[in-house]
Structure 1
Amino acid sequence: MSLKKQAVSGVFWTFTQQFSMQVINFGVQIILARLLMPEVFGLVAMLTVFVSIGQTLMDGGMTSSLIRTKNPDQLDYSTVFLTNLMVSIAIYLIIFLAAPAIASFYDQEILKNLLRVYALTFVIRSLVAVHTAKLTKEMNFKTQMKLQVPSTIVGGVVGVSMALGGFGVWSLVWLSLSQAIVFTIQNWIFIRWRPSIVFNKRRFKYHLNFGYKLTLSGLLDTIYNNAYRIVIGKFFSPSSVGFFNQAETMRLFPVEQISIVMDKVTYPLFSNIKSDVQLKSAYRSTMQLALFVVTPIMLILILVATDFFVFVFGEKWLPSVPYFQILAIASIVRPISTYNLNLLKVKGRSDLFLKLEVVKKIIGIAVIAIALPFGIMALVVSLTVISYFFTAINMFFSGRLINYSIGEQLKDVSKILLIGVSVAAISYFIYNFLDNIVQSHLLMILAIGLIYTMIYLIAIVVFDRKMIQLIKNLIR
């Protein structure tokens, strides 16, 4: 299969996988949000950082090294597999012992046992990290979809059943754990690859030399992305964490699907492109298409946020609305940052990747410290503002590698952003007019969504012919 066909197939199956999983997860989230109180979600959100850190350290960036390695063999795969397994067990033991101190930090005794069970997730997933990397290397996203969807369904059934049974916060923990267990079992049943009990020091050093920088970068990113939950959990109530976490989850819900598709497809795709001219062309097209899709989705959600939260989750979640509307602005550029960083990995610049992450996170932590005395809303605003600053940094350094200046990049995306914001302004006045007429939250969501989409597409046809041509070329 040609590289172009692999890319198209990869996008299709990865998007199908993400769409299917997130439709299921979204349905489960709605049910659980109505069954459980905000503070329950807040408790689990407090633990997310520790599980995410375990996941990041477990991999060590070595699966990314496998994906970019030309023709990795059984020795490569087995060495990385054994490394992941041993590291995950070691990290779990550290978390297990640290659980009482973590519970004491938040002044929530229940977190001790919750964390000790919840952290098993990344240990279980270490058993299939190489399986997933191998499928990604082969751009076999169809098989990944077939394995992910059933595990997502089982996890959702377990979580909802336990919530109905009165298990409270444990229903969220076992939802994640059951998903990991089912996904792992399926991988070992349906994927033929099996690790050998071999460990090669030379291959280990090769993959670690590339991967450890990505690991440190990922660790910084994980800690920073969860820093807001840590700070809110420490200085505010669990329900405040729950409201913030719901807003953060929902603003990421649409863009994460696109970001994950881009991350999984563009990394192996870009790795196989030899010419910088071709790489620049692929980079430009991907960035424009991402904004073309993400911009209207996020602006529509901002407009109908109140109706959306009341209709989907109920009025008890209304405090999440202002957080969501501000954070959603940051989501517009999130997919761009995702594949910007893939260029650094493709070019083997994991050193630059790490340096950028260190600088950005130092700035980010300083911003959190400045915003904290002014309350949660100030933290939310700071998160949005700094997201755009980080995106600009990523665009600048990634673009330099392929002779694509930040000025060129901004010029290529400015028209889409201008059209999207202009249509949002028009739709805002229409929303205020309909607000006194339409009493149904669902009808308001559908009406504004339809009106915005129609005006947006007409504006694109009239004012951005290059985007229309790009879409036509993609279809062909």
Structure 2
Amino acid sequence: MSDSLKEKTIKGVVWSGLERFSTAGVNFIIGLIIARILSPDEYGIIAMLAIFMAISQSIIDSGFSNALIRKNDRKEIDFSTTLYFNVVISTLIYGILYLISPFIASFYGIQELESIIKVVGTTLIWGALSIVQQSILTINVDFKTQMIVSLFAAILSGIIGIIMAMSGYGVWALVGQMVTVSIFRTIALWLVAKWRPITGFSKESFKNLFGYGSKILMAGILETIYRNLYSIIIGKYYQANALGLYHRGEQFASYAASNITGVIQRVTFPVMSSLQDDTEMLNKAFIKTLRTTCFFVFPIMTYLFMVSEPLVKLILTDKWIGCVPIIQILCISYMWYPVHILNLNILQVSGRSDLFFKIEVIKKIIGLAILFGSLPFGIIIMCWGRVLYCGLELFINMYYTNHIVKTSCIQQLRHTIPFLLYCIVITIAAALFQPYISSDILKLFINFIFIVLVWLLVVQRIENLYIRDFLLILNRK
């Protein structure tokens, strides 16, 4: 990787990281404030909508965003075609959601869901209006602007959500936050992106973009259905309280892993796309990214596993204590999330969207078997089923990635297993002194200091050129 490309990548990681974690931090704090006011039941109602909104969003994008970013010879007509398609399809999907909202409410037995769906569904249209602007900023690796936009929208919508919660609006406080963040973000992106559609819709451009994007779309829908199927089943066969606990536990477990991986993925996808014709350089970039991401994600997930109980007690109160075992189990699964995502990234960069879709079909058949096999045994066993599925899909992803970058499962594990072993040792050591600490605040603090000190020693011993490059470039500024 050339120095200029390397520097561009690292700067992108810095700004993407700031954007992700500043926004996620604001949302997390706002979420905690609202969670202390609302009940798990009210969060459970919103969680019931997740699959419908997620599938709708996948259809609206249709993989066009990734197709635009990956395409090296993109033209103005490609951007305009994407915008017009997004607006038309989002309007149609909103109309469908509007019409079926009574049936969704009847399915869950909660009449209020009908009006909630009709209001929350408008976010699909607002989001469709900004997909092109966000893609342009990502192509230019301009995550600084995206950070400003995201932070602006998160703060304003968060304030509105808190005010509504304190005013007794209940679940509608969450609805208000969801709708306003979409509106503020779209308006801000149109103001800063400086792009306006100046051409019409092109069938040729649509065919080209959809040829790649359609496979990503179908794979994305499969992943979305599977990921949200847990919420649907828990919401249907268990109480809303149980779904609220599961949903909050899922949020805690996924927070660090998904945000760190998201930062790396957003930056490396356009960068790796520029290396798609150079297999050797692509392989080196993949391994370096894999090691760096695991270096940050593994210790964070280990820390969350160790302190989940005192953390929940302190920031969510005892009424949420039931989500602690869910957090701990899902931490094991999300620890491997970056390895899973980066392998899929390679398939997209290489243009093998057909293979990407076939792999998703195989994995989801396995995942559904595990889900329905664990269903009769309760939510905890269902979470352990997710861990089993994570391990199986990891090896499937690694197997197919090897055909592109020539990095086998054994080679990938050789780069990641050392981090896992360090985490196991840290967890065992922490468990020995944990019973002697009575204060929840002290548990958080002591475990944090312990894991940071151990990890700093790891940094001294592991040869990690990417981190050294990162520090050198920061020192130049």
1:403-442 equivalences under 5 Å are: 403-434=406-437, 438-439=438-439, 441-442=440-441
Count residues in correspondence.
Answer: 469
2:88 corresponds to which residue?
Answer: 86
1:350 corresponds to which residue?
Answer: 353
1:171 corresponds to which residue?
Answer: 173
1:116–1:202 Cα change, 3 Å: same
Query: Is the Cα contact below 8 Å between 1:121 and 1:180 reproduced in 2?
Result: yes
Once superposed, which parts of structure 1, at least 4 consecutive aligned residues long, lie more than 3 Å away?
none
Question: Residue 206 of structure 1: which of 199, 204, 208 is its match?
Answer: 208
**Per-residue deviation, 1:396:** 1.8
**Per-residue deviation, 1:336:** 1.7
**Per-residue deviation, 1:429:** 0.8
**1: CA distance, partners of 2:189 / 2:13:** 21
For the residue of structure 2 that corresponds to 1:304, the secondary structure is helix
* Matched letter for residue 254 of structure 2: L
**1: CA distance, partners of 2:75 / 2:358:** 31
**Per-residue deviation, 1:460:** 4.9
**Per-residue deviation, 1:197:** 5.1
1:30 corresponds to which residue?
Answer: 32
Question: Residue 341 of structure 2: which of 338, 342, 352 is its match?
Answer: 338
* Matched letter for residue 448 of structure 2: G
Query: Is the Cα contact below 8 Å between 2:77 and 2:199 reproduced in 1?
Result: no
* 1:445 pairs with 2:444: yes
For the residue of structure 2 that corresponds to 1:318, the secondary structure is helix
2:236 corresponds to which residue?
Answer: 234
**2: CA distance, partners of 1:337 / 1:119:** 30
CA-atom RMSD, angstroms?
Answer: 1.3
C-alpha offsets along residues 412-442 of structure 1, whole Å, 9 cap, x if unaligned?
Answer: 11111111111111111121232xxx32x22
1:106 corresponds to which residue?
Answer: 108
Mind listing any 5+ residue stretches in structure 1 that lack a counterpart?
Answer: none
**1: CA distance, partners of 2:290 / 2:27:** 27
Question: Residue 52 of structure 1: which of 51, 54, 66 is its match?
Answer: 54
**2: CA distance, partners of 1:75 / 1:448:** 54
**2: CA distance, partners of 1:358 / 1:330:** 20
**1: CA distance, partners of 2:34 / 2:83:** 35
* 1:362 pairs with 2:359: no
* 1:247 pairs with 2:249: yes
1:197–1:278 Cα change, 3 Å: closer
**2: CA distance, partners of 1:119 / 1:53:** 12
**2: CA distance, partners of 1:471 / 1:187:** 32
**Per-residue deviation, 1:399:** 2.6
**Per-residue deviation, 1:473:** 3.6
* Matched letter for residue 220 of structure 1: L
Question: Residue 293 of structure 2: which of 285, 290, 294 is its match?
Answer: 290
TM-score by structure 1 length?
0.96
* 1:475 pairs with 2:474: no
**1: CA distance, partners of 2:366 / 2:432:** 37
Query: Is the Cα contact below 8 Å between 1:309 and 1:315 reproduced in 2?
Result: yes
Mind listing any 5+ residue stretches in structure 2 that lack a counterpart?
Answer: 473-477
Query: Is the Cα contact below 8 Å between 1:266 and 1:339 reproduced in 2?
Result: no
1:304–1:344 Cα change, 3 Å: same
**1: CA distance, partners of 2:79 / 2:4:** 25
State, as a whole percentage, how many aligned pairs show the same letter. 32
1:221 corresponds to which residue?
Answer: 223
Query: Is the Cα contact below 8 Å between 1:420 and 1:456 reproduced in 2?
Result: no
1:126-205 equivalences under 5 Å are: 126-196=128-198, 198-205=200-207
For the residue of structure 1 that corresponds to 2:467, the secondary structure is helix
For the residue of structure 1 that corresponds to 2:298, the secondary structure is helix
**Per-residue deviation, 1:347:** 0.5
Query: Is the Cα contact below 8 Å between 2:27 and 2:154 reproduced in 1?
Result: yes
**Per-residue deviation, 1:188:** 1.7
**Per-residue deviation, 1:285:** 1.1
**1: CA distance, partners of 2:160 / 2:115:** 19
**2: CA distance, partners of 1:191 / 1:209:** 27
* 1:376 pairs with 2:394: no
**Per-residue deviation, 1:257:** 1.2
**Per-residue deviation, 1:474:** 3.5
